[in-house]
């Protein structure tokens, strides 16, 4: 009888342990699902730079899927509304919605800018020395002719010594790339193509003393740099040009995402 009781007790204990393990597995699955759902999209995706091979690790990401600008990542103007590209930068001209960041030139004196500079009003921000940064952007315009003075660029804390990479900069209605440093301005010229009113992907691969510009995954520019690979932050803005001017709705720069990798 004692042996039978012992067997029943052992069976009961085994069943209890099995049930506990099963419940633990379910709880673990639930916890994992909850954690995964709570993670930012950037940690769930395996997005890689378009057309640029390599073993990349994502270091920054904003998909602009909310309804307000993430102030941890971005400031909403240039140092408290200061001027950039010939206009005052006004937070009222910066908006997020419909999966896009929108930057507007509201009149001849007022444009828009966002920056990941941690020494401006971005709470955390983002800077990098080497690596790849990419943004999917629709510049205002039609066909070859682009409006205003919008730009997607990176720059350092002490201009021009710490450098400036103008990845995609509209000058006189043309899409161009340019570089600035303590040794002067180094225009890289126009990027031939039809860029107005359409989304395209514009990337910068910053290497040791060399920068490469990519459009839709194709390298279009390569140039030497002499800024010592100082830390640089990300900037997107729209200002006023002397040619092909547009205001309000037709001036809007739309940004689908901004991503960076090391």
> 10-residue block means of pLDDT along the chain (262 residues)?
38 40 36 33 64 95 98 98 97 98 98 98 98 98 95 98 98 97 98 96 98 98 98 98 94 98 98
Q: Specify the pLDDT at position 243.
A: 87
Q: Specify the pLDDT at position 46.
A: 63
Within a 13 Å sphere around the CA of 63, how many CA atoms are in the beta-carbon half?
9
Q: Which of 202, 206, 140 is nearest to 179 (CA)?
A: 206
pTM: 0.83
- H helices of the chain, in order, are 2-38, 41-44
Q: Which of 259, 247, 262, 253 is nearest to 96 (CA)?
A: 253
| Beta pairing, strands 87-89 & 218-224 | unpaired
Q: Which of 234, 262, 236 is nearest to 126 (CA)?
A: 234
CA–CA distance, 41 with 49 (Å, rounded to integer): 16
């Amino acid at each position: 009888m004692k042996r039978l009781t012992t067997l029943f007790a052992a069976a009961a204990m085994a069943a209890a342990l099995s049930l506990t393990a099963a419940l633990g597995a379910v709880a673990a699955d639930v916890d994992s699902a909850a954690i995964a759902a709570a993670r930012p999209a950037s940690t769930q995706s395996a997005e890689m730079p378009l057309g640029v091979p390599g073993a990349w690790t994502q270091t920054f990401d904003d998909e602009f899927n909310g309804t307000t600008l993430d102030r941890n990542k971005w400031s909403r103007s240039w140092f408290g509304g200061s001027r950039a590209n010939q206009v005052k930068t006004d937070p009222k001209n910066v908006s997020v919605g419909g999966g896009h960041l929108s930057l507007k030139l509201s009149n001849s004196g007022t444009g828009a800018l966002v920056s990941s500079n941690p020494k401006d009003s971005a709470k955390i921000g983002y800077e990098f020395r080497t690596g790849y940064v990419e943004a999917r952007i629709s510049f205002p315009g039609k066909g070859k002719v682009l409006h205003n003075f919008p730009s997607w660029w990176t720059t350092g804390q002490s201009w021009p010594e710490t450098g400036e990479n103008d990845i995609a900069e509209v000058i006189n209605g043309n899409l161009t790339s340019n570089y600035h440093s303590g040794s002067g301005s180094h225009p890289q010229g126009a990027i031939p193509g039809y860029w107005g009113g359409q989304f395209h992907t514009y990337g910068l691969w910053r290497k040791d003393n060399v920068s490469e510009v990519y459009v839709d995954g194709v390298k279009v520019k390569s140039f030497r740099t002499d800024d010592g690979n100082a830390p640089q932050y990300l900037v997107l803005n729209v200002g006023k040009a002397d040619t092909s001017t547009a205001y309000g709705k037709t001036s809007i720069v739309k940004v689908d995402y901004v991503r960076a990798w090391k």
